[in-house]
Amino acid sequence: MPTIQDTTSTPAKLPEIRHIDASDLSWSLREGWKDFRAKRGDLIVIGLVYPIVCLIAAVVTFNNPLLPLFFPLVAGLSIAGPAAASGFYELARRREEGRDSSWWHFLDPLNGRSRTPLAVLTIGLAGLFLAWLIAAYAIYAVTFGADTPMRPSDLFGRLFTTTAGWQMILLGNLAGLCFAVVTLAFAVVSFPMVVDKPVDAGLAVRTSLAAVRRNPGTMLRWGLYVAALLLIGLIPLAVGLAVILPWLGYSTWHLYTKLVVR
């Protein structure tokens, strides 16, 4: 009688994760800056997409019942950063290998083997973004009341001169911190990994989580670097993000190469 073979698949083995420190973060930022300087003329326009989206968010939410979601919407758009940076990972990879890294290769991840895992990971980020908006609106409803109208003219006054406003700021920042940590753990390695290797989204996410577990303090420091740079880029009407976003994209690729044995 023929034997029945066990066809149950076992999860793919995670790659080796290195221990890194603050010097590796500085190295990643330096290497990312070198990549940006080499490609800044071709791709700086891509970095302008975020300021344009911020402007659209302002137009949509101001003088609208969605006004309480303006700040969460602008802040939460950074959740989409790892997906938008996939093209920068590809350019950094090609430049690392000494291959042609012209601007049209920015779209290569969308056309090759990376397309499906990138789509799955992007859906995951979209779910986090939606959950963040729901949480932000729930905080507004708890502090100010869902039926309380908010007008642009009194937005800042009610935020900074009322108890409800300070409660919303405190709760909103705590919730934002939680979502930022989850996004970092989910995406810091997974997106560059699926651009680099023919792996599925599940293995990439598990590797990203393992990298953060292996280096919790250093990765939290990286998250602070990212937050600080994004804040600097936002100050001059978000135009500075045309430089910050590509720089962070390239730097994240180099951080990935330090974290994961390829």
**pLDDT higher than 80, residue 170:** yes
pTM for this model (two decimals): 0.83
Q: Where are the domains of the chain?
A: 40-95+114-259
Look-up of token digits 């302002």: 58
For the residues 185-208, what does the mean pLDDT come to? 96
Angle between helical axes of 241-259 and 22-47 (0-180°, round to 10): 140
Find the DSSP H helices in the chain.
22-47, 49-61, 70-76, 81-84, 86-96, 108-111, 115-143, 155-161, 163-187, 190-196, 201-214, 216-234, 241-259
Confidence band of 179 (pLDDT split at 50, 70, 90): very high
Coil, helix or strand at residue 260: strand
Q: List the one residue out of 109, 249, 101 whose CA is nearest residue 188.
A: 249
Please say if the pLDDT value at position 103 is more than 80: no
Q: Provide the 8-state DSSP code for 112.
A: S
**Interval 206-258: pLDDT, tens:** 999 999 999 999 999 999 999 999 888 877 666 777 788 889 999 999 999 99
3-state secondary structure of 228: helix
* Spatial separation of the C-alpha atoms in residues 163 and 32, rounded to whole Å: 43
Name, of 35-39, 43-47, 179-183, 235-239, the range with top average pLDDT: 179-183
- The whole-number pLDDT of residue 5 equals 47
Reply yes or no on whether the pLDDT at 43 is more than 80: no
Would the pLDDT of 52 be above 70? no
Inter-axis angle of helices 241-259 and 86-96, nearest 10: 60
Note the pLDDT tens digit of each residue in 56-91: 666 665 656 666 777 787 777 677 778 888 888 998
How many Cα atoms sit within 13 Å of 258 on the Cβ side? 26
Token pair listed for 259? 């974290």
Share of the chain above pLDDT 90, in %: 44
- The pLDDT of residue 232 is 87
